Amino acid sequence: MKHLDEGDVVMDGGNSFWRDSMRREERVWEDGIYYLDTGTSGGPPGARDGACFMVGGREEGFEIAEPILDELSVDGGLLHVGPPGSGHFVKLVHNGVEFGMLQSIAEGVELLEAGDFDVDLEDVFNNWSNGSVIRSWLVELMRDQIGEDNYEDVPNYIEDTGEVNWLVQEAFKGETPIPVISQSVTELFKSRGNQEHAYQAIAAMRHGFGTHPFGEDDDILKERVTGRVDNVSRSHLEKDKERKEAVRPKDRMDLDD
């Protein structure tokens, strides 16, 4: 604050909590300083070629910063959303939508890998990138990542900085149902192996009410795989044991037996 003068503009381009941005704007406005919560999307490519900005703050402050932001944004990628806090709020909703899209695409990969057909994932995602309803930058990124030589070495552990958690918490407070975004956050937690005791507890209870076995059981596995009259579509998948990936039924037994 001591380095700023009345009429100066501060732009926060990070993924800040919008209520923090509202508080900060109120504080600096006491000295006549504009504070713009500038939600920014596009990643490193956006920094090089033009980003997408969602800006909250006083209109006068936005007008001062607009020429700079217009130069840094892609066509159509600059929006003054509204009053202080609104820019970071819209950006966090954007991130929540992103989480849901990522999870949906990931589940599509899982289905393709587990299906009965030996499809080329890179070809499929390239096809989806051209004219399909779900074509998007994320689909294109998935196509490009599959084509990398080290794709199979990508770990199952997913890290994030937690901004979408704030969104889920606020949605719960306001009783706004967001099941897809909430579940996508939960899936990230699951990737970190945070549930060290939950499945142990479930196994214990199942044993208690139905004498279900602890751990793997070949007889139960056979019942699960052969207990249906109709065919079960599962392809045989090679598993890298060091990655500790889930064991599918056909990896553990010969269904012809």
Active-site amino acid positions: 91, 98
Q: How many CA atoms lie within 13 A of 73 on its CB side?
A: 21
Q: How many CA atoms lie within 13 A of 191 on its CB side?
A: 15
Measure the CA–CA gap between 26 and 44, rounded to whole angstroms.
31
Residue labelled with tokens 């490009």: 144
**CA distance readout (Å), 17 to 78, 93, 253:** 20, 11, 50
Measure the CA–CA gap between 17 and 195, rounded to whole angstroms.
27
Letter string b/e over residues 43-60, b meaning 16 or more CB atoms within 10 A of that residue's CB: eeebeeebbbbbbbbbee
